[in-house]
């Protein structure tokens, strides 16, 4: 096990930059926002909101895939990065194939993903396109010779998405519960994207806890060689149940890959949702949100108030657990599905601490023992389901009305980028 501990000065340069123009932009953050962002300089110390990256084995991403670190200045001056503008400010999500055994639950799961994505990229619109079957994409498919489960070809899906991409789209992402492969010589791939075209397709199939077990229900009982164009093999094909863990993994992967669409590379500074991951265990170790350096990257691209974004994410995690899938009628009674957010409990607590920090404006290093205790008391889980906030700070931000934030536009030239095959 190895801890990657950058010095405070290295992290300051990565966040603020030594460039005068970028340092001037940074100075426009409020004192409270700078306090939060600079919390990363104290990573690894008791009570810090941000932690250093820990490499557990040689199979982890950083060890297996050496990359040049991307600080804020590298991102900001990268001609390949993409920024939403007035004409291209919507993220579209296209579901491909079944997303559950029950139709209404499928719809609810995708709505949860959409709403989470809209809170995460606060200020942008996120819309769902009508779901399509595998046959409607016209994609090639196969049975994996090792795992004996169905897989669909990513290149064909990207071509389909390219033809479906609306004119006002910043990007379009296809999501599916069916396993993927990029070419015949590959065993599988979690996803693939064309960054220059602003589109990608990602599978959540391997996020089922049982995927790598002998009893996985997605394994075909008989070894068959399906005929190309005969999509009947997908009728009634198994998709994993919507659990809290699967929802957490889905949200994490979707936002990570959309982050790449902005030009954000894999993070090598602090523990961050933008870290690369080589396997599911490593992916599960990633936090749900950005480190300060990547947060500044997405902030300059989209434009939002940091506190408002955190409130939107917390609201998504804490809103009523039981929602209806549609209007209730005599022939179609409303169906209630509780949102399974138990796996988000740690993130709820972290968001409360961030909001507390933005309210108090106290840095960790300058807090008294009493203030520190008060801050930690301000985010206490109750049965893993709800969050009780410190009465001192609860009214100050929780009762404010949520405000919409408009997108900022940067005059950065967009150039073509190569297609990228993604892991997690």
Which residues are tagged catalytic? 257
Helices 369-377, 345-360: crossing angle, 10 deg rounding: 140
Under 8 Å between Cβ of 406 and 308: no
Complete DSSP assignment for 358-381: HHH---GGG--HHHHHHHHHTEEE
Q: Is 381 helix (H, G, I), strand (E, B) or coil?
A: strand
Give me the residue label for tokens 């093999």: 233
Phi then psi dihedrals of residue 417, to 5 deg: -130, 155
3-state helix, strand, coil in the chain (%, to 5): 40, 15, 45
Tokens at 55, concatenated: 């490499």
Q: Quick one: which H or E segment has residue 391? A: helix 391-398
Cβ neighbours for 47, distance < 8 A, ≥ 6 positions apart = 364, 372, 376
**Tokens at 313, concatenated:** 């994410």
The three-state secondary structure class of 359 is helix
Take residue 201 and report the two structure tokens written for it.
């397709």
Tokens found for residue 220: 């075909």
Separation between Cα atoms, residue 217 and residue 59, nearest integer Å: 28
Q: Where are the alpha helices (DSSP H) in 270-337?
A: 280-285, 292-302, 306-318
> What number of residues does the chain have?
424
| Cβ proximity of 297 and 72 under 8 Å | yes
């Amino acid at each position: 096990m190895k801890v990657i501990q950058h010095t405070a000065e290295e992290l300051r340069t990565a966040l603020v930059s030594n460039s005068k123009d970028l340092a001037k932009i940074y100075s426009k953050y409020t004192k409270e926002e700078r306090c939060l962002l600079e919390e990363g300089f104290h990573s690894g110390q008791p009570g810090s909101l941000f932690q250093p990256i820990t490499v557990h084995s040689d199979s982890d991403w950083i060890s297996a895939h050496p990359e040049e670190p991307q600080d804020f200045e590298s991102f900001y001056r990268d001609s390949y990065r993409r920024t939403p503008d007035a004409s291209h400010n919507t993220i579209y999500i296209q579901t491909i194939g079944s997303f559950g055994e029950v139709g209404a639950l499928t719809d609810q799961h995708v709505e949860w993903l959409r709403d989470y994505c809209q809170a995460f990229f606060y200020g942008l619109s996120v819309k769902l396109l009508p779901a399509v079957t595998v046959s409607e994409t016209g994609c090639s498919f196969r049975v994996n010779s090792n795992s004996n489960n169905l897989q669909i070809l990513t290149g064909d899906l990207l071509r389909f998405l390219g033809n479906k991409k609306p004119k006002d789209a910043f990007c379009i992402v296809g999501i599916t519960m069916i396993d993927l492969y990029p070419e015949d010589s590959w065993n599988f791939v979690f996803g693939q994207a064309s960054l220059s075209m602003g589109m990608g397709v990602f599978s959540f199939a391997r996020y089922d806890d049982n995927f790598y077990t002998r009893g996985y229900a997605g394994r075909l009982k008989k070894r068959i060689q399906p005929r190309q164009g005969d999509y009947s093999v997908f009728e009634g094909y198994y998709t994993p149940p919507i659990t809290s863990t699967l929802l957490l993994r889905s949200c994490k992967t979707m936002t990570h890959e959309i982050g790449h669409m902005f030009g954000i590379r894999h993070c090598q500074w602090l523990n961050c949702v933008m870290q690369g991951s080589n396997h599911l265990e490593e992916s599960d170790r990633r936090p749900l949100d950005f480190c300060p350096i990547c947060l500044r990257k997405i902030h300059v691209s989209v434009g939002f108030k940091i506190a408002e974004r955190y409130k939107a994410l917390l609201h998504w995690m804490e809103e009523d657990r039981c929602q209806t899938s549609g209007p209730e009628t005599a022939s179609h009674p409303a169906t209630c599905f509780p949102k399974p957010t138990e796996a988000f409990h740690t993130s709820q607590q972290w968001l409360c601490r961030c909001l507390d920090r933005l309210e108090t404006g106290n840095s960790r290093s300058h807090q008294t023992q009493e203030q520190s205790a008060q801050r930690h008391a301000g985010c206490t889980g109750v049965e893993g389901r709800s969050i009780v906030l410190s009465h001192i700070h609860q009214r100050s931000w929780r009762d404010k009305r949520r405000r919409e934030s408009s997108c900022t536009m940067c005059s950065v030239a967009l150039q073509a980028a190569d297609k990228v095959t993604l892991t997690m």
